[in-house]
Amino acid sequence: MSADEKGFTVVDRRPFDDQGNARAAEDGDDQAQPAAAADDPACQERKAGAKHCQMPPVEFSGLVLSLATAAMTHMGAMPQPDGQGEAEPDLVLARHSIDTLGMLKEKTAGNLSDDERRLLDNILTDLRLAYVQLCR
């Protein structure tokens, strides 16, 4: 290869090594810090077919909201992905998601911030009321 020709460099930007351990941040490594998925160019690449995407940090509120969304979906309160109306309720799966949130509340009692506790309490109250109304 002559001095004028440039080769290419392969840079491994995966957040974990082959053993599943988090990689240490290197100087100038923008990919080391998680970014909001909507603003992260890596996530935009993922939508375009790339196989990597930086995820936002794992937070308790995200877990609670994910389980709440699952419960609402199982109760038929969320539109179908294809836009063809609402899904048929599956009360068994809805109850399981609500019960999972209830178990999470019991297991984390005394270990949550005030905001986390309020979020979990409010979501559980709303989901339980919606479930009872649906069962009538």
Sorted by where each begins, the domain ranges of the chain are 60-135
Q: What is the pLDDT of residues 60-118, one digit of tens each?
A: 999 999 999 999 999 998 876 676 766 789 999 999 999 999 999 999 999 999 999 99
Say how many C-beta atoms besides its own lie within 10 A of residue 119's C-beta.
17
The model carries a pTM of: 0.59
Percent of the chain with pLDDT over 70: 65
Please give the DSSP secondary-structure letter assigned to residue 18: T
Q: What is the pLDDT of residues 89-104, one digit of tens each?
A: 999 999 999 999 999 9
Distances (CA, A) of 60 to 66, 76, 116: 10, 25, 7
Copy the structure tokens of residue 22: 């988090």
CA distance 128 to 95: 9
pLDDT value, residue 32: 43
Are the CB atoms for 102 and 83 separated by under 8 Å?
Answer: no
Confidence grade of residue 56 (pLDDT, cut at 50, 70, 90): confident
CA distance 54 to 12: 13
CB hemisphere CA count around 29 (13 angstroms): 15
